[in-house]
Chains A and B, each alone.
Chain A
Amino acid sequence: DVKVTQSSRYLVKRTGEKVFLECVQDMDHENMFWYRQDPGLGLRLIYFSYDVKMKEKGDIPEGYSVSREKKERFSLILESASTNQTSMYLCASSLPDSEQFFGPGTRLTVL
């Protein structure tokens, strides 16, 4: 079974802090994705990566950056957290041209 894990289920940070969200997959998937999920808005794509050291902006990249130094790990970075970044963050991975597998999510609260 594909397993996608995220470093934290719940995280509380203060405004202005630098925040790292980590995602690891164990099935050698080329593609990895970061989404945020907000009530009534569904999933919105922040960034994705189709290979090591490659990254592409999604629909809402502002205020975020990513890092993919190893194939199995995709990190989402909030350089200076703000209250409007309070959300559920979901990581996913996939083979090329195949369905996505999701992690359990990280619920981030920025105070």
Chain B
Amino acid sequence: GEDVEQSLFLSVREGDSSVINCTYTDSSSTYLYWYKQEPGAGLQLLTYIFSNMDMKQDQRLTVLLNKKDKHLSLRIADTQTGDSAIYFCAERGTGGSYIPTFGRGTSLIVHP
């Protein structure tokens, strides 16, 4: 079945850039998502990218998609302590495959 892999932890210094990586196996993936989960809260959709795009930028967030390698990344510029959270990558096909497959989440720790 489909699989989405992420590293479990990432530690960065405040002000640096963070890059969270994700790989997936389903070649029919059409939508790829990044969700953020702050401590004790639900998941919040951060951004998403269609599979026919290579890059999407939204303020401090940059999403890069390498469809050939099935690799997705989320770059956070000028990382702040408020960015400390768990980040989930998810992929979804279209039509009947409306249930996304989630990675296990990457815990981003931002230290001063």
Contact = CB atoms under 8 A, between A and B. Distances in A.
Nearest to B48: A99
A8 interface: no
Interface size class of B (residues with CB under 8 A): 20 to 34
A62 interface: no
A48 B94 CA distance: 17
Given A41-B104, A42-B102, A42-B105, A99 B33 contact: yes
| Interface SS, B side | loop
Contacts, number: 45
Interface string A94-110: 10111111111101000
A42 B98 contact: no
B42 A103 contact: yes
Interface of B: 8, 31, 33, 35, 40-45, 48, 88, 94-95, 98-100, 102-105
12 contacts: A31-B98, A40-B8, A42-B102, A90-B43, A92-B43, A96-B98, A97-B94, A99-B100, A100-B45, A101-B45, A102-B35, A102-B43
Interface of A: 4, 31, 33, 40-43, 45, 48, 90, 92, 94, 96-105, 107
Top 8 closest A-B pairs, CB basis?
A42-B104, A102-B42, A102-B43, A104-B42, A43-B102, A105-B42, A103-B42, A97-B98
